Structure 1
Amino acid sequence: MLLESEPITTDVSREYLRYAARHEFSSTVTELVNLLANGDTSNFQYTFQNLLGVGHSSGLDTIFGILIGMLAFKKQPNNN
């Protein structure tokens, strides 16, 4: 696995990625993703700020990663 053999990220990020590879995510991540998937905007600002507050930049990095993933998914054929 590239994650294990290359120094491409920090130790903390590496651990998050290990869990993600097993489909295990923090509650702050799952709350935001579930809100987005359900189109529920009632608690979006609170949930967004909650994830943004994780670590020094980990929350922002995670939000950016979610956005990039959503954009990549949207660009795939048959996902319009």
Structure 2
Amino acid sequence: MPFGIGIWELLILLLVLLLVFGPKRLPEMGRQLGKGMREFKDSVSGSRDDEHLDDVDDIAELPPPEPSATATTSRERDTVS
């Protein structure tokens, strides 16, 4: 077993999770965990779906950010000695 966890430790952990979260919540948590791991794997491997490409197009259409006024005023106050 990975990380030195035996079958008994795994069973005790699953029993504690069942007692804490209940039988209705555990399948939902499993789905969320699987979805998160799948998204992480896709982002690391660089594979993209069609729906992700639509998000990239939306980002490309955004206007460029405006320069902030605080950056110019802080430079005006700086003195060179």
Q: TM-score range by the shorter chain?
A: 0.3 to 0.5
Greater C-alpha radius of gyration = 2
Taking structure 1 as the reference length, what is the TM-score of the superposition? 0.34
- Give the number of the structure with larger relative contact order, counting CA–CA contacts within 8 Å between residues 6 or more apart: 1
Taking structure 2 as the reference length, what is the TM-score of the superposition? 0.34
Q: Which has the higher helix share?
A: 2
